[in-house]
């Protein structure tokens, strides 16, 4: 047999105590008669006897019009292959590959691996007819390394539901949680040949330190330091007048505290509580006492100059840019939203009562001019940032970049998150939201041998 293109097929299982794959008679040659071949499905392989029959069809086809092959139940069980799905098939002289097998790594918490929780991922499968194969969620804790398999939940296109099963380790893994141990991630990276993407999550300060090394990008960083002790923090506050303290490993505005120096006094707006607490400290000793009573502000916190952000009316806004790897392995912007605070808040997070606008509308309402220039500068900066991050030795394919524009129309990088949320897009523009959700699966497919023609 010569190498085929990518073909679509459904699988029919027939009883046999031997490992057999049945292919269409049209694929046979004299040299193929009664020979065996390796059959691969994700991390599982088996040597199977080929039998040809004239009642099967396997052509390029499509998801909507797939061909058909047969597997013996012994081969099906060895490969751990669900029979209800529509697969892509690639045939060479030495191997038949069935797939793709794409894993969703959602962390180690077992409560995330049930059909009810997995419903939130179902909208990603609106692109299943462009991907096909087995898409399943699994925890590193569920991996059986002796068998190259994992327990998890797969999306059954026939029933549009998530169902439990045991599956081969994936061809490629989309990481959407960062509580797994580095040892587990390294092992999965090795197994997939580096095809686990979003392989590392920088803390806010690690990201700052990495970008600071690049002369072209560092000018977009506001002055930032780790919060270590009172004397150092007070010096930073006195130097910049208004600062923001934020945890290096939390998001969505959690744990933030803003301190502003006003003459000899200090105004503190503390967002660590459900409702922000505002207090005025009248002198240096009161400030020292505040930090003595809140020693956690020196524990994994950074301190940053508070930027004089542009406003829409009385409300602050910042910009969330979603950058994703496309099937051609280049970076592209798949969505931009501006998050506007409610008028009483320093925080723009939707979860804190903010709302979303398009970039064009927000820039026009804030500045009424220079909108096109600012939009272009933001896009160019994000492209340069992603290209630079590709040199970090990790496999990145998705960033949620938080960009600020100050009153002088300067652009600043607030943070870049490899685990972004997309709530604003879901409210503002559902088609953009769905495109963002689909892109990682199309990229995952492109990393496999089944991505030909994308």
172-208 pLDDT per residue, tens: 999 988 777 889 999 999 999 999 999 998 888 889 9
Give the per-residue pLDDT at 181.
Answer: 84
pTM above 0.75, yes or no: yes
Q: Is the pLDDT of residue 307 over 50?
A: yes
Question: Using only C-alpha atoms, what is the Rg of the chain?
Answer: 27
Give the per-residue pLDDT at 144.
Answer: 95
The answer to whether the CB of 37 falls within 8 A of the CB of 88 is no
CA terminus-to-terminus distance, the chain: 24
Give the per-residue pLDDT at 178.
Answer: 77
Cα distance between residue 224 and residue 236, in whole Å: 9
Give the per-residue pLDDT at 250.
Answer: 64
Give the per-residue pLDDT at 338.
Answer: 86
The answer to whether the CB of 13 falls within 8 A of the CB of 49 is no
Instruction: Write the DSSP string, 42-77.
Output: TTEEEEEEEEEETT----S--SSS-EEEEEEHHHHH
Q: pLDDT class for 418, splitting at 50, 70, 90?
A: confident
Q: Where are the domains of the chain?
A: 7-99, 101-197, 204-220+308-421, 224-305
124-159 pLDDT per residue, tens: 999 999 999 999 999 999 999 999 999 999 999 999
Mean pLDDT lowest for which of 101-115, 210-224, 399-413?
Answer: 101-115
Cα distance between residue 150 and residue 337, in whole Å: 37
Q: pLDDT class for 93, splitting at 50, 70, 90?
A: confident
Give the per-residue pLDDT at 195.
Answer: 97
Reference 207, options 365, 59, 389; nearest CA is: 389
342-357 pLDDT per residue, tens: 666 555 555 555 677 8
Give the per-residue pLDDT at 344.
Answer: 60
Cα distance between residue 349 and residue 369, in whole Å: 26
Cα distance between residue 100 and residue 449, in whole Å: 8
**CATH node for 7-99:** 2.40.40.20
User: To the nearest whole percent, how much of the chain has pLDDT over 70?
Assistant: 93
Mean pLDDT taken over the chain: 89
Say how far residue 137 (Cα) sits from the centre of its chain. Answer: 14
Reference 418, options 198, 217, 212; nearest CA is: 198
Give the per-residue pLDDT at 454.
Answer: 46
Q: Quickly count helices (H) and strands (E) in the chain.
A: 12, 25
Class of domain 204-220+308-421: alpha beta
The answer to whether the CB of 39 falls within 8 A of the CB of 74 is no
Cα distance between residue 26 and residue 293, in whole Å: 79
Give the per-residue pLDDT at 31.
Answer: 57
Pairing of strands 36-41, 95-99: parallel
Instruction: Write the DSSP string, 153-216.
Output: EEEETTTTEEEEEEEEPPSEEEE----S-HHHHHHHHHHTTS-EES-----HHHHHHHHHT-HH
Q: Is the pLDDT of residue 317 over 90?
A: no
Cα distance between residue 131 and residue 157, in whole Å: 12
Give the per-residue pLDDT at 273.
Answer: 80
The answer to whether the CB of 304 falls within 8 A of the CB of 248 is no
**What is the crossing angle of helices 371-389 and 359-367, to 10°?**
130
Dihedral sign for Cα atoms in the order 392, 394, 396, 400: negative
Structure token digits, residue 437: 């959700």
Instruction: Say which residue, 351 or 107, is predicted with more confidence.
Output: 107
Give the per-residue pLDDT at 419.
Answer: 81
Query: What distances in angstroms separate CA 274 from CA 231, 270, 346, one per listed residue?
Result: 29, 10, 14
Reference 241, options 307, 298, 153, 163; nearest CA is: 307
Which residue(s) pair with 331 in the sheet? Answer: 325
DSSP character at residue 351:
G
261-274 pLDDT per residue, tens: 999 899 999 888 87
Cα distance between residue 329 and residue 56, in whole Å: 36
Helix (H, G, I), strand (E, B) or coil at 14: strand
User: What is the number of alpha carbons within 13 Å of residue 281 lying toward its C-beta?
Assistant: 20
Reference 70, options 53, 86, 85, 88; nearest CA is: 53
Q: What angle do CA 384, 365, 276 make, to 5 degrees?
A: 85
Mean pLDDT lowest for which of 15-24, 151-160, 173-182, 287-296?
Answer: 173-182
Dihedral sign for Cα atoms in the order 422, 423, 424, 430: positive
């Amino acid at each position: 047999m010569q190498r085929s293109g990518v073909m679509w097929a459904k699988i029919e299982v027939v009883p046999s105590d031997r490992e057999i794959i049945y292919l269409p008679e049209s694929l046979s040659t004299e040299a193929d008669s009664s020979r065996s071949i390796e059959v691969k499905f994700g991390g599982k392989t088996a040597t199977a006897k080929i039998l040809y029959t004239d009642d099967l069809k396997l052509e390029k086809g499509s998801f909507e019009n797939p061909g058909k092959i047969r597997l013996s139940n012994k081969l099906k069980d060895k490969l751990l292959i669900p029979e209800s799905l529509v697969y892509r098939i690639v045939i060479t002289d030495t191997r038949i590959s069935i797939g793709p097998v794409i894993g969703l790594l959602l962390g180690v918490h077992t409560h995330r691996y049930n059909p009810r929780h997995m419903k939130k991922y179902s909208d990603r499968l609106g692109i299943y007819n462009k991907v096909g194969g087995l898409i399943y969620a699994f925890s590193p804790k569920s991996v059986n390394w002796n068998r190259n398999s994992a327990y998890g939940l797969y999306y059954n296109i026939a029933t549009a539901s998530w169902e439990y099963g045991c599956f081969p380790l994936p061809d490629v893994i989309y990481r959407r949680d960062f509580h797994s141990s580095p040892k587990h991630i390294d092992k999965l990276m090795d197994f997939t040949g580096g095809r686990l993407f979003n392989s590392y999550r920088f803390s806010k300060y690690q990201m700052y330190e990495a970008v600071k090394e690049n002369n072209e990008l560092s000018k977009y960083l506001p002055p930032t330091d780790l919060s270590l002790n009172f004397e150092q923090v007070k010096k930073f506050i006195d130097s910049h007048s208004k600062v923001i303290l934020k945890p290096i490993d939390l998001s969505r505005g959690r744990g933030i505290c803003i301190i502003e120096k006003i003459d000899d006094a200090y105004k503190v707006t503390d967002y660590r509580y459900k409702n922000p607490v505002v207090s005025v400290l009248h002198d240096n000793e009161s400030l020292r006492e505040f930090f003595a009573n809140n020693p956690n502000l020196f524990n994994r916190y950074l301190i940053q100059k508070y930027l004089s952000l542009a406003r829409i009316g009385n409300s602050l806004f910042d910009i969330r840019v979603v950058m994703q790897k496309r099937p051609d392995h280049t970076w592209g912007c798949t969505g931009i939203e501006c998050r506007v605070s409610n008028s009483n808040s320093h925080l723009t997070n939707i979860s804190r009562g903010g709302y979303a606008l398009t970039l064009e509308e927000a820039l026009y309402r804030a500045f009424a001019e220079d909108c096109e220039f600012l939009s272009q500068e933001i896009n160019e900066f994000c492209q340069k940032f992603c290209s630079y991050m590709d040199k970090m030795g990790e496999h990145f394919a998705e960033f949620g970049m938080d960009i600020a524009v100050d009153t002088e129309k300067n652009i600043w990088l607030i943070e870049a998150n490899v685990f972004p949320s997309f709530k604003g897009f879901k409210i503002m523009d559902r088609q953009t939201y769905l495109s963002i959700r689909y892109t990682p699966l199309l990229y995952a497919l492109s990393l496999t041998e089944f991505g030909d023609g994308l």
